[in-house]
Amino acid sequence: MKSLSISTLPVAARKALVKLGADIAVARKKRRISTVSMAERAFLSRSTLARIEKGDPSVSIGAYLSVLAILGMVKHFGQVADRTNDTLGLDLDEDRLPKRVRSGSQIRIRP
């Protein structure tokens, strides 16, 4: 029986996780870290590490982050939903700006 998290996951999210897992596997191999060593350092079982490298959505985000930290890549994860890179959110904010500003509603700046 398939996990509910797999069957309800949007296709784009599933593809992103599979890519993330494959990228983690490549990064581990480039650093010449064995699966045994990586699993031990991340306090994971080898089977959990294998699931991460396959992009399994049922593995906790904490496990993914532990592996990324060991690879020196965890700082990039913090930028995934950075509000300054949220172009849709920024566009929506701009759409909510008033159409005109009356002189009585101006903000006064004190020296």
Q: Using the Cα atoms of residue 93, residue 98, residue 104 and residue 109 in order, give the sign of their dihedral.
A: positive
CATH of residue 62? 1.10.260.40
Does residue 17 belong to any structural domain of this protein? yes
Token pair 């996951």: residue: 9
Using pLDDT thresholds of 50, 70 and 90, give the confidence band for residue 106: low
29-38, 68-77, 89-98: which has the highest mean pLDDT?
29-38
Tokens read off for 27: 């990064």
Does residue 87 belong to any structural domain of this protein? no
Does residue 98 belong to any structural domain of this protein? no
Taking residues 1-6, report their average pLDDT. Answer: 54
Residues 6+ apart with CB under 8 A from 31: 71
Range of the domain at 13: 4-82
Does residue 19 belong to any structural domain of this protein? yes
- For 38-57, the pLDDT digits (tens) are 999 999 999 999 999 999 99
Does residue 12 belong to any structural domain of this protein? yes
Does residue 13 belong to any structural domain of this protein? yes
Does residue 60 belong to any structural domain of this protein? yes
pTM score, whole prediction = 0.74
**79/11 Cα distance (integer angstroms):** 22
The total number of structural domains that make up the chain? 1
- Cβ–Cβ < 8 Å for 46, 38: no
Does residue 109 belong to any structural domain of this protein? no
pLDDT at 104 over 60: yes
pLDDT at 49: 98
Using pLDDT thresholds of 50, 70 and 90, give the confidence band for residue 1: very low
